[in-house]
Structure 1
Amino acid sequence: MSRLAFRPRAAALAAALVLLAPAARAQEGAADWPMFGGGHDNRHYAPLAAIDRGNVGRLRPAWIFQTGVTGYFQAEPVVVDGVMYVSTTGNHVAALEAKSGRVLWTYTHKARTEKIFGPPSNRGVAVSGGLVYEATMDGRVIALDARTGKVVWDHEAVRPEEGETETASALAAQLGDKPIQGSSRLGFKMPPLVADGLVIVGVAGAGYGLHVEDDKGGLDGGSVVGIEGGYGRRGWLAAYDAKTGAERWRWYVTKADGWEGGFVATTADGEPLHRDIAAERAAAPQNREAWRVGGGSLWMTPAFDPDLGLIFLGTGNPAPQNFGLTRPGDNLYTMSLVALDVKSGALRWHFQQVPHDEWGYDVASPPFLLDYPTPQGPVKAVAQGSKTGWLYVHDRATGKLLARSEPLIRHKNLYAPPTPEGTIVSPGPLGAISWHPVAYDAATGLAYAQIRHGAATYTVKTVPAAPGRPEIRYTETSEARGEPSFSTLTAVDLAQGGAIAWSQKAGSRLSGGTLATAGGLVFSGEEDGHLDAHDARTGEILWRFQCGAGIGGPPVSFAVDGRQYVAVAAGGASFTKGSGFGTGDALVVFALPD
């Protein structure tokens, strides 16, 4: 495994960029970005207005930090007391002076195994009580001293496992020479949540599948293969003592007693699922133990309501991926927004967006908290942007669905099952809204989401039986050729029941998530390397900057000594491989000149 070679060249780069004496002032003192999402509400909103519609066109790089490791740089930086903490590809961590980029310390992670789930990406750290917390791709939860970067405790939460089986290996041989990546190796991607003296984090990699590269070398344009049978892992979320790392509770995504649910014919919001319920019921007796390997990855950081004592999180697809007959029933509690008691991990409520999923519609984008207007007055609510193409709003205490937005995409054959002939469905498994955060401005009631418009073809295939090996059935998911494929930045008016306020088509695919600010701006990244600033009222692009590599992580904004900054990770992402857009290793930080 390659080791991090940090390049502390921020001062030299800043000088070369001829930067900027402090000019426009946000407010006196520091305005931190203290945790993922900017706060426990996960709103990705900065109450800073020094950079606004009138002057954003003059925004320039203030400093750049290069990690020395290119690619899959998806982290959201955290800023506490004028110090920026950022994790990188491979779970390395750096502490930087937030106003200059000067390196204060670095931590180089030494993974205990290279057998991890997916690319070596990490989406950020948490900082609290003088410690920096990170959950790693090789299954560890680590606390570092925030002053020095020294390890305070290192808890091995899970050992990633190979995930390969004889069936998977046999199928891989049938697929030719294309590179294949096996899944079902548990590890961590999400930034931890620190709440109530606990460090809370959930595993990814639980939903089994083979990811097959396309001719360009990119997984995103290739196919996803879900194999018949019980080859997944059981997803879980756990809480660790913030001081010692000792595990305090663990909640498993798959329900041990009754995970089949009610064999529902429609989603909870009324969409027909087109299920063969009779076939599922007939298959149930021989698949009673499917929950033991039933999947349910956890992709992004929960929101937290300290008054209710609840955390809110989304769960991923059931296993086996995209192949449903060997896991009959609704597969509770996969594909759900759930509320858990922060002290015990006990389930308070759940809302399953897609029972018995066969399309890869993980509830992946982090939920965010808001006060939702109703005729009876505002209701404490939680919202979530879905892969299925709607934004859902729920009562925070009960889970009751309060609103579903207008459709954010044009649906095609939604929830139509895979077939031997191939079924085209929109959206595909990348969704309308994937793991990328949605920004929310409480003053206007507008939520800003990066929307992917595209379809996939779901095809059931069979590998004939051979000596010593039974017949193998699987579902292959690939990009639907000839179908429209583009991205929009879309504003959803939650003060008006979820109406679309505006939608701006992007020049390339959007990635990383959104940031809204009090200056009337929305920042959004593109896979071609551009960071864009939009007018929050109209969607008009007011400023763009080419960062040199695809934007992989969510932008953030903070202020030091009254000067406002915007920061974003530019390292590309998995879908940039072979796409014509390069990878990189830069954290780019912007400010206004004199």
Structure 2
Amino acid sequence: MTWSTERSEHTTRSRRRMRATERRRPPLALAAALACALALPGAALAQGPGTENGNWTYLGGDAWHTRYTPATEITADNFNDLEVVWEWSATSFGPSTPRATPSYIDGKLITVAGDRRHVVAIDPKNGDLIWSFREPNTFRHDYSMRKGYGKGIAYTEIDGRGVVFISSPAFFLHALDVETGKPLENWGRPVPIDGFNETGTVDLVEDLIADWGPWLAMDRPYDAGQGIPIEIGYITASSPPIVVNDTIVVGNSAEQGYLQTRVENVPGDILGYDVRTGEHKWKFNVVPRPGEFGHDTWENDAWQWIGDVSSWAPMAADPELGLVYIVTNGPTIDYYGGHHPGDNLFSTSIIALNADTGEREWHYQMVHHDIWNYDTPTAPVLMDVTVDGREIKGLFQATKQAFLYALDRETGEPIWPIEERPVPSSRIPGEKLSETQPFPTKPAPYDLQGRTEDHLIDYTPEIKEMARQVAEENNLFNGLFDPPTHTDDPAGPAWNCPGGGGGTNITGPAVADPVNGVIFVSSQSSCFRLQVMPGVDSPLDELEQSGTTHTDFAAVATTVRGSIEQFTIDGLPIWKGPVGRITAIDLNTGDHLWAVPSSDASEAQQDTIRNHPLVQGLENIEINRGRGGNAAMVVTPTLLVAGGLSADNTPMLYAYDKRTGERVGGIEIPGVTRYGMSSWVHDGHQYIIVQLADGIAAVAVPEAAPASGGY
């Protein structure tokens, strides 16, 4: 392919193709959307791919979630000269799971910190704290799950005033002035809890459950301090909302499905609010009710009590089309679905909603009746591509199962065929799986799926035969959609490859070069072993639960991670690597361009392979198989920048030539990168921000250091 470093204007097409089973009605006409955008509060923000004016206003840089910056100061020539110019510690804000991408907005770096999900504004020149916001304490925060999982903030401008939005673990939506961190005046509605301001907040729970059957059946007054009564459900948020023109769209999350001890919960319905006022505009039911599209995919009347199907991953949007793109997880309880037979729309799906009305424009379900924990962990990436001479507004979704789903984001139609292929049935009593699952024909999977003879090392026929014997003797061969087994099954636990850890997972969202139509996907070749048991036998009953009830349905008995790599030929791995990789895919053709290990295997691991007697004298031996885990990444006009580990276990920031995958630079950083990066320009210098275990670090040219005075 021919690469370009110049941004181009993509031709807008008026083509609208209809699929009656997946589309509700055509999206907003482009001309009307543009006319509206000029008058809307977020109109000053970037509408297309890539950041503008050096800012990083969305979690993914832009609404398209490309994590692409056009900044050019950092190059292959100076990458090895970069320095950590400052660090900011979040330890004073309490414990957290470091998964936030800081946003850079007109001279302030804004992120979240700690299990209270403080919002903090930081001086991008030196890392000094400018202001912070802390939500008042509530009982519902105390019992909330995923407290430290906040990934960032949302932002817009209202009449020229910058406004930051945050959804909290207690499931409140706050609007803050970007200059001061104070709650916005005349916005939202009063919350009757001590410590809350009169304005600047919306109680999301109140709108979520207002028409929910189990809540209405309780027939009691709503208590804002408690939120959802814990005996019927729980909800939280782990990703920020997203602003789409004059609407702020809010997703949610629940407890991890492998830790749940009941089948009843509140559905993770999507909420929309007016950006200017905080007024509730709409709610989209992720578990369709009678008369709604998809209701017939829930048998056993499960729609009345089933929960989750939440949107815990971040969202993407196309403001010009007026669409927001939401990815969902499975229903309550990850690995057993006998209590909710059917395909279960809109679980494990991509949903395109009209951001103004909340109406479904189209959807695509990636896993029917998901009992593999194949929920979608990252936001879709939007990008315009040219396929066989056709200009297409694309949507590309990386997944735990190492498929990249390529869809037209206007219509939901696959760009390349996606085939429904037969998959195994379950031997667990009461479980009724879908007979088929969707398999994209292009692009090819970007990591190992299942384990077959094609995945065995083949340095020589004799070595491959030895590897085959190890795999066969230990019952290691398996298929992508092999279902979990029961604890009484003599076959033992089922292999699940990739397992619930991916493939792609939370910490390594895909990034893209929208100029050339190339996506970069981080993945790992991990496996789980899966068995389920009756819920009454579950060890979860012995854990301290936050008010949950217990169930007689199945619970997870075994989820062993990565153990398939432990089977070797006297230390020589039997499976092809790398075990953690970055893959570049040209989305104009669907072809893979290159794949490289995302980290270096340890010196000990490399020595074991290098010195193994079976490979002595052989060429093209895979010495560096990398490491498991996903890489945090960001894209520039010439580079792919990614976190990783060196062979001596040093945390590194690496630069790759994005055309070839060649590593062209690397610098030591204070800790392992934990989530997607951001890159922006302040006072004439380009910065790269990496999220660490206890804070963030800013990487830039030496001239950007606080003591140097810059230019």
TM (norm. structure 2) is: 0.65
Are 2:409 and 1:409 aligned? no
- 1:369-384 matched pairs, under 5 angstroms: 369-384=382-397
1:476-495 deviation per Cα after TM superposition (whole angstroms, max 9, x unaligned): 34125631393212212212
**How far apart, CA to CA, are the structure 2 residues paired with 1:341 and 1:117?**
30
Deviations 1:169-198 (A, max 9, x none): xxxxxxxxxxxxx99631111122112222
What CA deviation, in whole Å up to 9, does each residue of 1:215-254 have, x standing for no partner?
xxxxxxxxxxx66x63333112111222332221111211
1:183/1:205 contact within 8 Å kept: no
What secondary structure sits across from 2:120 in the alignment? Answer: strand
Pair 1:374–1:31, CA change in 2 (3 A): same
Write the mapping of 1:189-200 to structure 2, written as runs, cut at 5 A: 189-200=238-249
Q: What is the aligned counterpart of 1:434 among 488, 491, 505?
A: 505
Matched residue, 1:419:
485
CA deviation map 1:252-292 (0-9, x unaligned): 211223787787xxxxxxxxxxxxxxxxx9xx4xx213453
8 A Cα contact 1:142 1:154, kept in partner = yes
Q: Is the 8 A contact 2:288 2:303 kept in 1?
A: no
Deviations 1:323-360 (A, max 9, x none): 11101000100100111001111111111000000101
Distance (Å, rounded) in 1 between the aligned partners of 2:303 and 2:333: 9
Q: 2:172, 2:271 → 1: CA distance? A: 12
Distance 1:259 1:348, change over 3 A: closer
Distance 2:281 2:585 in 1: 38
- Counterpart of 1:482? 563
CA distance in 2, matches of 1:237, 1:63: 38
User: How far off is 1:314 after superposition?
Assistant: 0.8
Stretch deviating more after TM superposition (65-74 or 341-350): 65-74
Percent same amino acid at aligned positions?
25
Matched with 1:52 is 75
User: In structure 2, what is the Cα distance between the partners aligned to 1:481 and 1:32?
Assistant: 39
**Equivalent residue, structure 1, for 2:143:** 115
**Which residue, out of 673, 686, 696, partners 1:564?**
686
How far did 1:589 drift? 0.5
Contact 2:289 2:303 in 1 (8 A): no
Aligned to 1:102: 128
CA, structure 1 residues 525+232, in 2 after alignment: closer, same or farther (shift >3 Å)?
farther
Q: Which residue does the alignment assign to 1:297?
A: 310
Give the counterpart of 2:112 among 77, 87, 92: 87
Alpha-carbon contact 1:453-1:484 (below 8 Å) kept: no
Could you say which residue in structure 2 is the equivalent of 1:275? none
**Cα separation, 1, equivalents of 2:390 and 2:556:** 47
Aligned to 2:592: 499
**CA distance in structure 2 between the partners assigned to 1:388 and 1:550 by the alignment:** 25
Q: Which structure has the larger Rg?
A: 2
Q: Is 1:589 aligned to residue 702 of structure 2? A: no
Aligned residue for 1:484, secondary structure, equals helix
**1:251 alignment partner AA:** F
CA distance in structure 2 between the aligned counterparts of 1:342 and 1:322, rounded to whole angstroms: 32
Match of 2:59 in 1: 36
Say which structure is richer in helix: 2
TM-score if structure 1 supplies the norm length?
0.77
After TM superposition, give the deviation of residue 297 of structure 1 in Å: 1.7
Deviation larger for 477-486 or 57-66: 477-486
Contact 1:298–1:364 under 8 Å retained in 2: no
- Count residues with an aligned counterpart: 494
Asked whether the 8 Å contact 1:294–1:320 carries over to 2, the reply is no
Equivalent position of 2:637 in the other structure: 518
**Secondary structure at the residue paired with 1:393?**
strand
Give the aligned CA root-mean-square deviation in angstroms. Answer: 2.8
C-alpha distance 357-144 of structure 1, shift in aligned 2 (>3 A): same
Does the CA contact (< 8 Å) of 2:524 and 2:630 recur in 1? no
Gaps of 5+ in 2: 1-51, 185-199, 210-230, 417-441, 451-478, 487-491, 539-549, 567-578, 601-626, 704-711
Aligned in 2, Cα 1:204/1:471: closer, same or farther, shift over 3 Å? closer
What code does the residue aligned with 1:320 have? I
Please give the alpha-carbon distance, in whole angstroms, between the structure 1 residues aligned to 2:449 and 2:152: 33
Q: Distance in 2 between matches of 1:376 and 1:476?
A: 51
Q: Supply the distance in 2 between the matched residues of 1:309 and 1:348 (Cα, whole angstroms).
A: 10
Aligned pair in 2 of structure 1 residues 54, 398: CA closer, same or farther (>3 Å)?
A: same
Deviations 1:278-317 (Å, cap 9, x if unpaired)?
Answer: xxx9xx4xx2134532321212332222232111121111
Q: Superposed, which structure 2 residues align to 1:9-28 within 5 Å?
A: none
1:451-462 → structure 2 map (5 Å cutoff):
451-462=523-534
Aligned to 1:537: 659
After superposition, residues 153-232 of structure 1 pair within 5 angstroms as 153-158=200-205, 185-205=234-254, 208-210=257-259, 230-232=263-265
Q: 1:465 to 1:339 in 2, by over 3 A?
A: closer
